[in-house]
Structure 1
Amino acid sequence: MQPPAFVQAEESLAVAARKLQHDNIGCLPVCQGERVIGMLTDRDIAMRGVADGRNASQMSVMEAMSRDPLTCFADDSVEQAAILMTQGHVQRLAVLDRKTQRLIGVISVSDVGGSQTEPRHYEVTFFKKMSDHYGHSQHAEVMRISIVHGSKDEAIAVAMRQFEQVKQVNSWNQLADGYDVTTIHHDEQGVVVDEHELTSEREARIKQRAYELWEQAGAPAGQDKEYWHKAAAELDDQDRAEE
């Protein structure tokens, strides 16, 4: 592993950008004191700071970072770290001391002699349906959450939980009508590709319930359709009962 380059959550995006440039890296662990609470990428700065017209000197790292980062421990094997990066589609891991949970280093794909052909992360944008002056329906963003590891379904489930925690509601659809998912990865030429998936409220509710049922059953492989249909039937019954 390498000595840890990191940024504190309360620091500005401008400070973080200078650290990324100085160390010639694409992401930084975000700490609150000595505890790792997130990961900040150059794309987070571009999409949540520059693209949204925010002042990088006034916007904090915490506002732009991705939460729940993948980490490993200093006494884990190199193979374990490599597997984590491969399965999580990430290029770097924060390395923690197992006893203190303190950040002590960073390890990258190049450090373990591997390569990631298609790193991915996901942006889940929760929205409310609004009508403009002409009566046209539009999506007004309520919250955008970036997830840097796991599958798309896992990222959606994590984003839903984070939305509910931040907004302090029991269910995300109390405040949002649906969500859109953007999958971000690199093509064979290394060009960043954004793939957008628009999700209706019904599909979103089914997906969340199907994932909950799947987790409760012990995450069995190859039964996605079975849990989708079970969740759809359960929610449709609930809706009919409420009519």
Structure 2
Amino acid sequence: MLVSERMKRAVFLGPDETLATAARKLRKDNIGCLPVCEDGRLLGMITDRDIAMRGVADSRDPNHMRVREAMSINAICCAKDDAVEHAAALMHQCHVQRLAVVDADHNLVGVISMRDLEEGSSERRPFEVIFYKEILDHVGLTHHSELMRLSVAHGTKAEAVEAAISQFEAAKQVTKWTAAADGYDVVSIHVGESGESLESLELTSERDAQIRPRARALWEEAGFPSGQDVQFWEKAAQGVDGENKAER
């Protein structure tokens, strides 16, 4: 899916409008930033923080100070023909909730937000799938070493995992992802009530899902002993890994 299919009409400001006008537009649309354009071309972005730090904090009169004096020149933007996965990854990387969308001539054609990517259903939202190898530290404890992190901007969790596995296998040139990784975790990304980006880590790798019930069964068979979690997990992991290797 392309950004052009999810973006919204852009509300924007001219560089010679006042900070007071900018503040009123931000409040009216209940957003934290607005593109600044001149003759359709994107010049920058102004945020509520810009108004507070470069205007109010410096005791400037917001009825006379111009937007061009407070705006950020290097606006974070994406192209209308970019994939929505790219837009989601860019927002996450830059810790922003909205991007200006431009055409090939850098003219503003719309805006896209994390909320736009989540529209339709609470079950359809951006995810990150993190593939890892298991390594042992100096005391013998197992840790996850990240191999690749893939962003999937829209879909259910199952669809996101399926898409990420396909991309991972292609990137690693393997026919089955388990030939290159020990497992994967899933980060679910959604927008909170105040517009903040929230993340929740779901330890849902296929390998862990196979090991966990087997380790519990071993623990129950042994009479529920305490302090032996690692031993039962490792024994269960050996069984699962042996079966997976036999299937390759």
The two structures have a TM-score, normalised by structure 1, of 0.46
Q: Which structure has the larger Rg? A: 2
The two structures have a TM-score, normalised by structure 2, of 0.45
